[in-house]
Amino acid sequence: MTLPNLSLEFFPPNSEAMEQKLWQSIMELKILNPKFVSVTYGAGGSTRERTHNTVDKILQQTSLVPAAHITCVDASKAQVDEVLQEYWNMGVRNIVALRGDPKTGVGTEFIANKDGYLNATEVVEAARKIGDFQVSVSFYPEKHPESPSLEHEFNVLKEKIEKGATQAIGQFFVEPETYLNFRDLAVKHGIKIPLLPGIMPVGSVSGYMRMAKACNTNIPDWFAEKFDGMDGNPQEREKRAEETLVNLVTALQKEGVEDFHFYTLNRAKLTLEAAKALGF
């Protein structure tokens, strides 16, 4: 089987120690030749400076292609435009345009800033007005927690594409069918942009389960059983995590998927071991 194309996601550091860990991870993962590396934007825009600095450093000190996440939470249109303009001026050409989670927490009602953009669609439109960015957006193969239906999910995705989104990156999922069903339905809805599956490694079982609950990611029984109690046995957990990830990617490759977005959790080892098992 040919090697998959990877993109890698990192989050900005919030301490000196985390900064070192992030850079070590980026340097170790460079070898995978990622198509782009994305840097998240903290809840409520809380990492604006740190995201900016990380993206800048990637641009200045590596040959990697950075993609900067941006959200419209708690920010006016002018503030979002300013950040986008700064990115354009410094040479960033890839943006991940998002609405962001409500400041009051996932699952609560999103209330836009009174002078702000309402959703990701409007952020995409703003980005494309400022520069000829490649704009990635989100998609949710098990639907967004606020979405009433998958139908609505496709309508939102189509709006984002109409405003200029060039590819979409998926929320993480466990079973290959979850992504494949979404992809088939997307084709039926006339969606033609690349839909990159989001691949999340099991770093810690408790962390994974917490995220799955918040993100509407279904945990099948076999998965829960496979990882039950594994936080007490890190060596075995790592083995099972790698096997699970490789099985997922391989199953998707068999169905023609070539591009994958890996959530690295800023931990190079998780991604590197899996990549090695995939033939890198």
Nearer to ligand FAD by Cβ, of 53 and 240: the residue is: 53
**Considering the complex, what minimum distance in angstroms separates the CB of residue 207 from ligand FAD?**
16
Judged by CB under 6 A, the stretch of 86-94, 96-104, 173-181, 185-193 that binds ligand FAD is 96-104
By CB under 6 A, is residue 120 in contact with ligand FAD? Answer: yes
Q: Which of 34, 66, 197, 198 binds ligand FAD (CB under 6 A)?
A: 198
Instruction: Report the 10 Å Cβ neighbour count for 67.
Output: 27
Nearer to ligand FAD by Cβ, of 43 and 272: the residue is: 43
Measured in degrees and rounded to the nearest 5, phi and psi for residue 235 equal -65, -45
Residue 153 among the catalytic residues: no
By CB under 6 A, is residue 71 in contact with ligand FAD? Answer: yes
- Applying CB under 6 A, what is the total number of residues that bind ligand FAD? 22
Chain positions 133 to 172 lying near ligand FAD, rule: CB under 6 A, are: 138, 144, 146-147, 153, 156, 159, 169, 171
**Considering the complex, what minimum distance in angstroms separates the CB of residue 170 from ligand FAD?**
6
**Considering the complex, what minimum distance in angstroms separates the CB of residue 140 from ligand FAD?**
6
By CB under 6 A, is residue 211 in contact with ligand FAD? Answer: no
Catalytic residues: 9
